[in-house]
Amino acid sequence: MAIEKPFSRLWDRFPHRQDVAYVFGGVVFIVYVWAVRGFLYQFSSLRLYHNLGDILAVFCYLMAFALLESLLITGILLLIGFLLPRQWFKEGFAVKGFLAVLVSGSAMVKLQGYLYSQQMHNYQMPSSTTLYGGAVIGFVLLLILIFLVQKVTVIRNLLLAFEERLQVFIYVFVPLGILGLFVIFFRNIR
Amino acid sequence: MHSNRDLTRRDFLKLASLAPFACLPNPLRRFPQNIQIGDAKNVIVLVFDAWSAEHVQFYGYPRQTMPNLERFLERAAVYHNHYAAGTFTTPGTSSLLTGLYPWSHRAFSLGTGGITRERVNQNAFAVFAPTHSTLAYTQNKFADILLCQMEDSITTHLRTGAFNAERRFLYNLPLFKNDAQVAFASLENNILQHDLENDSSLFINPIYRILKMNMQQANDRKFEKEYPLGLPDDTEQFLLGDTVDGAIATLGSFAEPSFTYFHFYPPHENYCPLGEFRGAFNGGWQADEKPIHCLSWGHKSYKELTRLNRDYDEYIASWDFEVSRIFQYLQDSGLMERSYVVVTADHGELNERGERGHFSSMVFEPLIHVPLIIFDPSASGRKDIHTPTSAVDVLPTLAYLAGLPIPEWAEGKLLPGFGGEENTSRSIYAMDAKTNASYSPISKGTISLMKYPWRLTYYKYPDNEQFEFYDLEHDPDELKDLYPSQLKEAQLMRDELLGALEDVNGPFY
């Protein structure tokens, strides 16, 4: 009988490395594009009171935070895959994980706008019905999409091809995030 | 075969249940121990944020908003015509701490901008640091950014949340000690904005905000009886009593002689009066209606502004009730006998002419006319000083009182009553240029020049360039614009104002 390495069964519960890379590419694309959009939105006001060096430093903070956020989101997806029975999420992780990121990302965009309007008008917490209702709608939408993608091979292949192309952003954004971490480190060790 | 060292899903979930305990930090505050008291006096500056002199009874307001503070004024110098140099925290506080007008320290834009690098070491802490221990505390995040800039000269810089019910800010964590301003601009003002839209964090921010709102609403419910309109907060919630207790504890343990700066958030919006003061000013007097100004951003109704003014007054009364314990402590502990205590505001509050609070391009009396009270340990009685004075006068006067050289850079003069002249017709400026770039000529903003009894206000905007001219002696409510009829006096002041503006803009063209 072969001797199992410690944690080997644990390791098996995680998706294949290539699937993880596909999902990470999608997460990086969505998180970083949103961060850059936020930076550009604030750029004109930053110009009012910061010099170019400080503005670049702000950009570095954004990139570093986006890297940590991307790792966190990917980590959460891996954790879900780890905790759920493998056929639920681990199998077909590249497609299911990416769809989960797309749906939850869209929900977060909607939620940010909603929170802003709530706070602007009456500083009230959104009702539980709204929040849970939104979560349920998002979840049902995700299930429908997963079902659709599993049944229609063309869509699945298109999605995988798209994810494959998104991986290029890992090579663009992740180094920027690492550079951002270095900049933050050096600005704070003085 | 299962190895004994395999971690099962169940084991993992058990371990995960311990995660919340990692979120229970218990930071210990450390204060310097008392040291030998020398001859030098302490200087204690207490700033109340957004505190307008137009809402205080000993400056003529009909409502008794601060009866407790008034009890302590027997040996104080009370300045009746004192003016902030800016209309919101950043320029107002910067002028107070540097003795410079906003167009010199350049901290006049809305946001995370601070004092220009060339001026960053020209501040009150740097003046006092060679002879005094220096201690700084503010609950206002924008004022804290300024203190972070001045940190080289501050012995003890307490975090905004030191006395608050919660701590939320990341920028003032020790991790970002050397880069607080940019960390604030990035983390608090962009990635995790607390009340604004367009955050740069897509996933973490909304979840964080929901958790924050949930927790704050739970706190509001918990303290509903004490604070019927909710707990006061500037992102971090706090209780008025805790803030005062924290300040008293700090005053009881600082190293003397000390230059101490406490910048409290009350009575800044949101107005959160204590339960016992709720309804204290219902009925009776209320402010007259003033026409909506053409530059009003809010266009609030008179009814709404009347309610806001009442809430503001109730909040001031609540703060007076709590903060008077600091004055009692200073008196009982003997600190008052060995300290100059300055009480003032960074700017005022304007709930009139369609405008709410102090997010405005107007520069009217309620927004810049602020209290200034100086407790002098050697004084034998109360002095009421009616000569117009400015926030930029405070630093030179304090340096003079402490026997230190008056900073050459300071643009203010010695205050009357403490070595200064009683010059009623001196020029006093106040300005708002929150949408103008800090490092550009001032081309968008409102500048007020006061030469008592006249005030000339220059609105300089691309789509609205105009002057207003008021006689503050006969028209203290600034309702009759005399610009067309009093052209001779107005023109003299206009030339002076435009000349000053040309001088300060010169280096930026």
Q: Which amino acid is at B255?
A: A
- Write the single-letter amino acid at A5: K
Question: Average of pLDDT values for B87-100?
Answer: 97
Q: Do B114 and A42 touch (CB under 8 A)?
A: no
3-state secondary structure of B64: coil
Give the pLDDT score at B135: 97
Distance between alpha carbon B91 and the CA centroid of its chain, in Å?
A: 9
Closest by Cβ to B201, choosing from A9, A10, A69: A69
Q: How far is it, in rounded angstroms, from Cα B466 to Cα B362?
A: 12
Out of A38-42, B59-63, B179-183, B189-193, the most confident range is B59-63
What does each C-alpha distance from B491 to B51, B56, B58, B494, B495 come to in angstroms?
A: 32, 34, 34, 5, 6
Sheet strand arrangement including B383-385: B156-157, B133-138, B258-264, B42-48, B339-345, B372-375, B76-79, B383-385
User: Which residues does chain B have within 8 Å of residue A50's beta carbon, measured at their own beta carbons?
Assistant: 112-113, 182, 185
Query: What's the confidence (pLDDT) of residue B63?
Result: 97
Instruction: Name chain B contacts of A29, Cβ cutoff 8 Å.
Output: none
CA distance B365 to chain A (A): 27
pLDDT for B24 equals: 38
Chain center to CA of B38: 31
A54:B181 CB<8 A: yes
pLDDT in tens, B152-200: 999 999 999 999 998 888 888 888 988 988 999 898 888 887 656 668 8
**Angstrom distance (rounded) from CA B349 to CA B365:** 9
* pLDDT for the residue B33: 36
Instruction: Give the contacts of B108 (CB within 8 A, at least 6 positions apart).
Output: B86, B90, B91, B102, B431, B432, B433, B434, B436, B438, B445
Nearest partner of B414 among B384, B392, B381, B386, judged by Cα: B392
pTM here is 0.88
Residue A84: pLDDT over 50: yes
**Tokens at B406, concatenated:** 């008056």
Q: Residue holding tokens 């060679």?
A: B130
- Whether residues A35 and B109 touch (CB distance < 8 A) is answered with no
Residue position matching structure tokens 């940590």: A68
DSSP H helices in A91-152: 93-122, 128-151
Among all residues of chain B, which has the CA nearest to that of A44? B437
Select from B17, B105, B203, B204 the residue whose CB has the most chain A CBs within 10 Å, as the one to mutate to test that interface. B203
Flag whether residue B112 sits within 8 Å of chain A, measured between CB atoms: yes
The residue of chain A nearest to residue B433, with distances taken between CA atoms, is A48
Phi and psi, residue B466, nearest 5°: -155, 165
Quick one: pLDDT band at residue B72, thresholds 50, 70, 90? very high
Does the CB of A63 have a partner CB in chain B at under 8 Å? Answer: no
C-beta of residue B171 within 8 angstroms of C-beta of residue B180: yes
Assign B44 a pLDDT band (cuts: 50, 70, 90): very high
Contacts of B181 in chain A (CB under 8 A): 54
DSSP reduced 3-state for B52: coil
Tell me how close the Cα of B471 comes to any Cα of chain A, in angstroms: 35
Residue B27 is predicted with a pLDDT of 31
What kind and span of H or E run contains B45? strand B42-48
Share of chain A above pLDDT 90, in %: 63
Query: How far apart, in whole angstroms, are the C-alpha atoms of residue A101 and residue B375?
Result: 61
Contact A116 B197 (CB under 8 A): yes
- Interface touch A82/B186, C-beta < 8 Å: no
pLDDT in the model for residue B501: 97
CA A76 to chain centre: 9
Residue in B with minimal Cα distance to A8:
B6
B211 touches chain A (CB under 8 A): no
Distance from CA of A117 to the nearest CA of B (A): 9
Nearest to A57 by CA among B292, B187, B16: B187
Pairwise CB contact (< 8 Å): A188 & B209? no
Which residues of chain A does B439 touch, with a Cβ-Cβ cutoff of 8 Å? 51
Chain B residues lying within 8 Å of A4, measured CB to CB:
1, 3
Q: Which of B354, B362, B423 is nearest to B387 (CA)?
A: B423
User: What residues in A contact B175, CB-CB < 8 Å?
Assistant: 188
What pLDDT digit, counting tens, does each position of B211-229 carry?
888 888 899 999 999 999 9
- Those of residues 122-181 in A touching chain B at CB distance below 8 A are 123, 125-126, 131
pLDDT band at A116 (very low <50, low <70, confident <90, very high): confident
Q: Give me A170's structure tokens.
A: 């890992």
Percent of chain A clearing pLDDT 70 (strictly above): 92
pLDDT of residue B52: 98
Q: Are B171 and B155 in contact (CB under 8 A)?
A: no
**Interface membership of B195 toward A (CB under 8 Å):** yes
Does residue A146 contact residue A99 with C-beta atoms inside 8 Å? yes
**How many beta carbons lie within 10 A of that of residue B136, not counting itself?**
26
- Alpha-carbon distance B115 to nearest alpha carbon in chain A (angstroms): 9
pLDDT of residue B29: 30
List the single residue in A51, A69, A115 with the smallest CB-CB distance to B206. Answer: A115
Q: State the DSSP string of B216-246.
A: HHHHHHHTTTT-TT---EESEE--HHHHHHH
The tens digit of pLDDT for each residue in B490-509 reads: 999 999 999 999 999 999 88
Q: Is A75 on the interface with B (CB under 8 A)?
A: no
Q: Which of B20-34, B346-360, B394-408, B409-423 has the lowest mean pLDDT?
A: B20-34
A7 Cα to chain B: minimum distance (Å): 5
- Look at B23 and A9; give whichever has higher pLDDT: A9
Q: What mean pLDDT is predicted for residues B98-118?
A: 90
Pairing of strands B464-471, B454-461: antiparallel
* Torsion (CA) A157, A160, A165, A168 in degrees, nearest 10: -160
Strand partners, B336: none
DSSP B100-137: --HHHH---SSSS--S-GGGTT-SHHHHHTTTSEEEEE
Question: CA–CA separation, B445 vs B456, rounded Å?
Answer: 14
Residue of B nearest to A103 (CA): B203
Q: If you average pLDDT over residues B269-277, what whole number do you get? A: 96
What whole-number distance in Å separates Cα of residue B150 and Cα of residue B107? 13
Q: Which domains does chain B have, with CATH numbers?
A: 42-169+238-427+434-445 (3.40.720.10)
Cis before B405 (ω within 30): no
Residues B38 and B257 sit within 8 Å (Cβ to Cβ):
yes
Give the per-residue pLDDT at B34: 36
Confidence of residue B31 (pLDDT cuts 50, 70, 90): very low
Cα distance between residue B480 and residue B133, in whole Å: 49
Residue B4's pLDDT band, with cuts at 50, 70 and 90, is: very low
Pick from A39, A49, A126: CB nearest B200: A39
DSSP code at position B177:
G
Predicted confidence band at A49 (pLDDT cuts at 50, 70, 90)?
confident
Cβ-proximal residues to A128 (8 Å cutoff; 6+ apart), any chain: none
CA distances from B357 to B85, B271, B348, B352, B372 (A): 17, 10, 9, 9, 20
Residue A130, C-beta contacts closer than 8 angstroms, at least 6 positions apart: A114
pLDDT value, residue B14: 52
| SS3 state of residue A46 | helix
Whole-number pLDDT of residue B196: 62
Is there a contact between B200 and A109 if contact means CB atoms under 8 Å apart?
no
- Cβ separation B12–A83 shorter than 8 A: yes
Q: Is the pLDDT of residue B302 over 60?
A: yes
B2: pLDDT strictly greater than 70: no
Q: Position B418: which residue type? A: F
**Better pLDDT: A126 or A55:** A55
- A184 and A60 Cβ atoms separated by less than 8 Å: yes
pLDDT for A125 equals 73
| Substitution target from A13, A37, A50, A132 for chain B, most B beta carbons within 10 A | A50
State how far the Cα of B203 lies from the Cα of B2, in Å rounded to an integer: 38
- Give the span between the Cα atoms of B262 and B330, in whole angstroms: 14
Residue B220 pLDDT: 93
Res. B284: pLDDT tops 90: no
> What CA–CA distance (Å, rounded) separates B348 from B118?
28
Average pLDDT value over all residues in chain A: 89
Neighbouring C-beta atoms of residue B50, cutoff 10 Å: 27
- The pair phi, psi for residue B99, each rounded to 5°, is 70, 20
Tell me the mean pLDDT in the region B455-478.
94
CB of B425 within 8 Å of a chain A CB? The answer is no
Characterize the bridge pairing of strands B133-138 and B156-157: parallel
Q: What does the pLDDT read at residue B194? A: 61
Q: Is the pLDDT of residue B19 over 70?
A: no
Q: Could you tell me if B185 and A58 are in contact, meaning their C-beta atoms sit under 8 angstroms apart?
A: yes
Please check the confidence at residue B89 and state whether its pLDDT lies above 50.
yes
**A 98-127 residues with CB < 8 A to B:** 104-105, 108-109, 111-113, 115-116, 119, 123, 125-126
Q: d(Cα B365, Cα B59) in Å, to the nearest integer? A: 12
State how beta strands B428-432 and B445-451 pair. antiparallel
pLDDT score, position A11: 76
Q: Could you tell me which residue, A7 or B79, shows the higher pLDDT?
A: B79
B110 CB near a chain A CB, below 8 Å?
yes
> Would you state the pLDDT for residue A127?
80
Q: Which range is least confidently modeled, A20-29, B33-42, B95-104?
A: B33-42
Please tell me chain B's helix, strand, coil percentages from 3-state DSSP, rounded to the nearest 5. 35, 15, 45
Which of B12, B195, B200 is facing A34, going by the closest CB pair? Answer: B200
Q: For an interface test with A, which of B202, B204, B210 has the most A Cβ atoms less than 10 Å from its Cβ?
A: B202
